[in-house]
Amino acid sequence: MIFPPVWKVTRPGFLIPVFFLWFCAVSGQHAWHEAAVSATGGTFVARHVISDGRYNQAGLGWTAKHSVSLQHAQPFMAGELAIASLSFLLPAGKGGFGTTLSTLGIKGFRQTSAWISYGMKLHPGFSAGLGLHIWNTGIPGEMIHHFGVSCALGIQVRLSGDLCLAGHVMHPLSWSDLEPELESRKMMISAGGSYTFFRTATYHTDLHCHPSGYLQWCHGLEISLAKTMRFLLGMHNRPFSLSGGISLEYHRWSATIALEYLFDTGTTPSSSLTYAW
Return the amino acid letter for 153: L
58 Cβ partners below 8 Å, 6+ apart? Answer: 52, 119, 127, 128, 129, 154, 155, 156, 166, 168
pLDDT at 139: 74
pLDDT at 219: 97
pLDDT at 245: 97
pLDDT at 105: 79
49 Cβ partners below 8 Å, 6+ apart? Answer: 34, 36, 37, 55, 59
259 Cβ partners below 8 Å, 6+ apart? Answer: 39, 243, 244, 245, 267, 268, 269, 270
pLDDT at 145: 66
pLDDT at 268: 92
The arrangement of secondary structure in 12-276, i.e. its CATH architecture, is Beta Barrel (2.40)
Could you tell me the residue ranges of all domains in the chain?
Answer: 12-276
For 138-197, the DSSP string reads: E-TTSS-EEEEEEEEEEEEEE-SSSEEEEEEEEEE-S---S-HHHHGGG-EEEEEEEEEE
Mapped onto helix, strand or coil, the DSSP state of residue 39 is helix
pLDDT along the chain (277 residues), means of 10: 40 45 42 85 93 94 95 84 92 94 81 93 95 84 71 94 94 54 64 94 94 86 93 94 96 96 91 96
pLDDT at 111: 83
pLDDT at 21: 45
Pairing label, strands 145-158, 126-138: antiparallel
DSSP state of 213: S
Spatial distance between the Cα atoms of 16 and 7, rounded to a whole number of angstroms: 15
Task: Decide: 192 and 207 in contact? Cβ < 8 Å.
Answer: yes
C-alpha dist (Å) from residue 169 to 129, 131, 141, 173: 11, 10, 35, 13
pLDDT at 45: 96
